[in-house]
Chains A and B, each alone.
Chain A
Amino acid sequence: GCGSTSDSSSASGSGENGGSVELTNVSYDPTRELYEAYNKAFAAHWKEQTGQDVTVTQSHGGSGKQALEVANGLEADVVTLALEGDVDAIKDAGLIEDGYTEEFDNDSAPYTSSIVFLVRKGNPKNIQDWDDLLRDDVGVITPNPKTSGGARWNYLAAWYYFEKQGQSEEQIKESMKTLYSHVLVLDSGARGSTTSFVENKQGDVLLAWENEAFLSLEEYPGEYEIVIPSVSILCQPTVAVVDEVVDSRGTRDVATEYLNYLYSDEAQRLEAENFYRPSNEEILKEYTSDSESRTITEIPEDNKWIVSDGFELTNIDHFGGWTEATEKHFVDGGIFDSIYEEK
């Protein structure tokens, strides 16, 4: 009973009016709520523009894992992943053409984010910064950098902190090892970690996407607090059209528009409301507060949730871009592996 033709290839032309089209968006873990909202907006937009009904099928999971599944045959028209490095993996498999980062604005990152700490109400362990994670009484929750994009950002942010402390590479590795030895649960995706921390009450601190942390604040008002470390990293989730798939399914137009529309004002606001930082400076400002407090206990009434000052954000360029960073830290036998191997 195997071998029926896949039903995801049933795009019925992109005729001027009427008809329908299906699109598959393979994304990373925390964007579930964002794309649920965005897909509605986009459907309306596309209907208006072409008269076609568009149905978007979502798939979420650890970003790295998602990328590999796409590379391995999961038929995604577009990927909206946690980092460029993951899209590169798909590119390396030959599914995406070179130069995809130039295809859309802002290096094909329609929204950005950063890494923050989520702690329990009242911050009982008084966790303020990265070095607090080295304390023996602190249990840390973060996903597996091998499979999760967020986890890689977490890792690099921590690395950068220790670097800033003036530690040598050996010392940094030592610190990282200590940090990871405090990790209680190493899930395969950001959402898995959030569940472990929030629902299953594991650990004292969750290293989280900013958006994920705010979402928890929203879902569990009064139960958690966000602590912004003194140093973090600007996360640039990257989107791309999967050329091989759209070409074979004839969905390039809608797929391209799907990603393009992420930069529209409507979408940018939607992203901000889902706690992603819009790439549109104007809209970014609408949500930026002037507070300098690095502890956030609730979502501000005025919806200005973005704290812009009082801490330093590095970015991937500091690590020489994703190719280099992956090569050094995350490949098999990279630094991350060595952190585990020597136990």
Chain B
Amino acid sequence: MSTQSCKAGLPKLSVASDKEGFALKQNEQSGAVKWLLIAFSAVFLAVMLVLPLVYVLITAFREGIQPYLEAVTDKYALKSIQLTLEATVIAVIVNTVFGLFASWSITKFQFRGKKIISTLIDLPLTVSPIIAGLIYVLTFGRQSFLYPYLKSAHISIIYAVPGIVLATIFVTFPFISREIIPVLTAAGKDEEEAAALMGAGGWTIFRRVTFPHIKWALLYGIVLCTARAMGEFGAVSVLSGHLRGKTNTMPLYIELLYQGYDFTGAFAVSSILVVMAIIILVLRSVLEYRGRKNEE
């Protein structure tokens, strides 16, 4: 049911198009409306999106560079960065693997239950992160029937790193498959059939024929997945136990600093997160721009 419904769900980062054709011509006639709308958009984006970014950076450096450096090189800060990166990398890997296989099976084959599977894939998008955390607490917590087994095997999931990783995977679960599926659907399966007909195996087909179609979608999926994974707060907060230096991811650590009157620290660590995310976004644009250029 939600296969279709979510089609437009994840935002597409599109390179601004230059062809304006008819529209441009018409707009020449009403410059006033044009500039009014542009100004409105610019102000809105500046206040809603740019200002918070600026605020983070300014506050981070409010007390100068030294306290900033101290804050970001603090033992616990480094630990939280490490944990966040770990969780992000694992989530991206798992979701990439999942995304590739899921989109392959959904777009290249007819089978029963396809609709259900696509709906389930999309589900995490609409589930509140709190609920995402909650379900793992319920599944692996003390009151779960699994708990005795986990306990006897000395496996901790919730209030430990695996729980954090799981929650991160969950909240970013559909990100990559959702980027790839529409691209593959649009491309159809003719090329793959042609390749199969010539005797190519699955890996060859994927690598030589399919992959080039989806690489930008995949890249974008990974970028979104990374950004979201790094920033996840709610689900991780439920599962973390807030063990300083152990299960505090960057967002949780920021909260901790924030509540410890260490605003400089909080915003300093935030700024790292912001900068990392911006780097990823920019990197992606550059990669895609270069790649697209090469293709032409």
Complex: A in contact with B (CB within 8 Å): yes
Partner of B259, one of A2, A72, A75, A192: A192
Of all chain B residues, which has the CB nearest A9? B154
- Chain A's nearest CB lies how many Å from the CB of B221? 18
Residues of B near A69 (CB, < 8 A) are 159, 241
**Chain B interface bracket (under 10, 10 to 19, 20 to 34, 35 or more):** 35 or more
Are A59's CB and B157's CB within 8 A?
A: no
Contact yes or no, B263 A6, CB < 8 A: no
**Which residues of A lie under 8 Å from residue B137 when comparing CB positions?**
72
Q: Is the CB of A195 within 8 A of B155?
A: no
Q: Are B243 and A58 in contact (CB under 8 A)?
A: yes
* CB of A292 within 8 Å of the partner chain: no
Which residues in chain A, 70-117, are within 8 Å of chain B measured between CB atoms? Answer: 71-75, 93
**CA distance in complex: A192, B237 (Å):** 15
Bound-state Cα–Cα, A29 to B169, Å: 29
A32 and B76 CA atoms in complex are apart in Å by 14
Q: Is the interface of A mostly helix, strand, loop or mixed?
A: mixed
Asked if B166 CB lies within 8 Å of chain A CBs, one says yes
Q: Across the interface, which residues of A come within 8 angstroms of B159, CB to CB? A: 69, 72-75
Decide: A8 near B156, CB < 8 A? Known: A72-B143, A191-B259. Answer: yes
By a CB distance below 8 angstroms, the chain B residues around A192 are 259
| Nearest residue, chain A, Cβ from B259 | A191
**Residue A61 lies at the interface, judged by CB distance under 8 Å to chain B:** yes
Does B124 lie at the interface of the complex (its beta carbon under 8 Å from any beta carbon of A)? no
In B230-265, the 8 Å CB interface with A consists of 241-246, 256, 258-261, 263
| A182: interface (CB < 8 Å) | no
Residues of B within 8 A of A191 (CB): 259-260
B156 and A71 contact, CB distance less than 8 A: no
Closest to B91 in A: A1
> Are B156 and A5 in contact, with the CB atoms below 8 A?
yes
Q: Which of B157, B169, B243, B256 has the most CB of A within 10 A?
A: B243
Which residues of B come within 8 Å of A, CB atoms?
Answer: 90, 93-94, 137, 140-143, 147, 150, 153-163, 165-166, 169, 241-246, 256, 258-261, 263
The 14 listed contacts between A and B (C-beta, < 8 Å) are: A1-B162, A6-B156, A6-B160, A7-B160, A9-B154, A29-B259, A33-B260, A57-B244, A58-B244, A59-B243, A72-B137, A73-B142, A73-B158, A199-B263
